[in-house]
Amino acid sequence: MAETANLKEAVLWESAGGKKVRCKLCNFRCLIDEGNLGHCCVRKNIDGVLYSLNYDKVCAANADPIEKKPLFHFQPGSSSFSIACIGCNFRCSFCQNWQISQAALESGRIDGTSVTPQQIVTAAIHGRCKSIAYTYTEPTIFMELCAETGRFAKQKGLANIFVSNGYMTIEAIDFAKDWLDGINVDLKSFSDDYYRTLCKARLQPVLDTIKYIAHQTNIWMEITTLLVPGQNDSEDELKKVAHFLVTQASPDVPWHISRFIPQYKYLDAHPTPISTIELAERIGKEAGLHYVYPGNVPGSKSESTFCHNCGKLLIERRGYHIAQNLIKDSRCTSCNTLIPGYQL
Ligand code: SF4
C-alpha cells in the first residue's frame, strides 16, 4: 500500500520548487525537503505533497468546564468537549502537557485513536457540551481535524474554541475564522529572549496574532500569561504586557495571570509567589484592563467577574464551579453596562 494511502493531505501549503514544499500554517513557515518533517514533527513532505501525520489520531478527549481553558467570558458554566492530537510547534521547557505535546519529537511516536469529526460532535452532544475545544496541545498543528470537526459542530449548534500559543499565520486565522468562535492565546512573555530560550520560538508573531484576532475577526479572545519566577515576572515586563493588551487589543480582553508550578524540564524553580500574581493583577487594572483573573490560585476572590463599570459581583466562581451568574442578556443587572463576551 502506498505510504500516503491513509494520510490526510495538509491544508495551507504550497510547492516551493521541485519537490520542496512550504508550510503556511504557523509562523515557522517551514521549507521542507522531500521525505522530511516540519519543525512540529507531525507534517511530512511525501513526494512533493505535504501530509498531516496526526490527522484523526486523537490522544485526549474529555468534557471540561469552559473555565478550565480558561475562558471566563464564553458560555460561562458550560462544558466544552476537549480534544487533542500529538505534537506542538513550541518546545516550552515548562510544558504541563509535554507527554503528548512533545511525544513526536522525543519518541517519534504519534499515537491516538482514530475518530471521525462526526463521532467527536456526537460525543460532545451526548456529553451535554456547548462547544468543542481544541486544546492540551497546539491546535494549529492539527488544523485539518479542527476544521472538519469545527464546520460540522457549527451545523449542529456547537461553538468551537482554540487554546493556542498564538503562532498561527494570518492565513491560518483566516482559514479558521468562519467556524472558530473563541480562543485563549498564551502571551507567555513580552521578551523575545524568553520566547527564544524557553520556547524555541519568537515573540513578534504572537503579538501580530493577538492584534489581528482583536481587530480583523469576530473571534472572542482571552489571554493567558504564566508567570515563571525570575523569567517574566518583573514589574516592567508585566506593565509592557498590560499596556500592549490595552492599546493593541482591547481593554475588554480578559487577562489570566497563571501561577507557575514546576514541570517537565523546568524543575529547578519555585511556584510563583501569590504576591507576584497580586502585583500583576494590580498592574493590569491600573493599565486599564477591565478583567484580570488569577489562575491556579484557589479561593481567590478575584477569580469572580465584577462589572467593570459599577463593581457588582456578576459571576461568582469557586475554582471551575459557577456559584451564581447574574449577567442577563450580556448586561450587568445593576447598571445595565454591556459585559463583553460570547453568549453570556
Ligand atoms: S505547522 Fe508550523 S512547524 Fe509544522 S510544518 Fe507547518 S510551519 Fe512547520
DSSP, residue by residue, 10-72: PSSEEE-STT-EEE-SBTT--EE-TT-B-TTSSEEEETTEEEESSTTEEEEEEEEEGGGTT-S
What is the whole-number distance in angstroms between the Cα of residue 158 and the centre of ligand 1? 28
Q: Ligand 1: which of 27, 31, 138, 141 to mutate, judged by most atoms within 8 Å of the beta carbon? A: 141
Q: From the CA of 141, give the closest atom in ligand 1.
A: 1
What is the whole-number distance in angstroms between the Cα of residue 83 and the centre of ligand 1? 20
What is the whole-number distance in angstroms between the Cα of residue 247 and the centre of ligand 1? 30
Kindly report the backbone phi and psi dihedral angles of residue 28, in degrees, each rounded to the nearest multiple of 5, phi listed first: -70, -30
Evaluated on CA atoms 73, 166, 275, 243, the torsion sign reads negative
Q: Ligand 1: which of 37, 39, 209 to mutate, judged by most atoms within 8 Å of the beta carbon? A: 39
Q: Ligand 1: which of 20, 24, 30 to mutate, judged by most atoms within 8 Å of the beta carbon? A: 30
User: In this structure, which amino acid lies at residue 248?
Assistant: Q
Residue 336 grid coordinates:
445595565
- Give the pLDDT confidence score for residue 39 in this predicted structure: 95
Residue nearest to atom 2 of ligand 1 (CA): 26
What is the CB < 6 Å shell around ligand 1?
23, 25-26, 28-30, 38-40, 43, 89, 141
Q: From the CA of 39, give the closest atom in ligand 1.
A: 3
Q: Which residues contact 267 (CB under 8 A, 6 or more apart)?
A: none
Q: From the CA of 10, give the closest atom in ligand 1.
A: 6
Partner residues linked to 292 by β-bridges = 255
Instruction: Provide the 8-state DSSP code for 141.
Output: G
State the DSSP string of 306-318. E-TTT--EEEEEE
What is the whole-number distance in angstroms between the Cα of residue 64 and the centre of ligand 1? 28
What is the whole-number distance in angstroms between the Cα of residue 40 and the centre of ligand 1? 6
Q: Which residues contact 336 (CB under 8 A, 6 or more apart)?
A: none
Bridge-based pairing state of the strands 43-46 and 49-52: antiparallel
Residue nearest to atom 5 of ligand 1 (CA): 38
> 10-residue block means of pLDDT along the chain (344 residues)?
81 97 98 97 97 94 96 98 95 87 84 94 98 97 97 98 98 98 98 96 98 98 96 96 98 96 80 94 98 90 95 95 95 97 94
- Give the pLDDT confidence score for residue 307 in this predicted structure: 97
Distance CA 180, CA 87 (A): 21
Distance CA 258, CA 338 (A): 26
Distance CA 126, CA 79 (A): 11
What is the whole-number distance in angstroms between the Cα of residue 118 and the centre of ligand 1? 26
Q: Please give the model's pTM, rounded to 2 decimal places.
A: 0.96
Q: From the CA of 89, give the closest atom in ligand 1.
A: 3
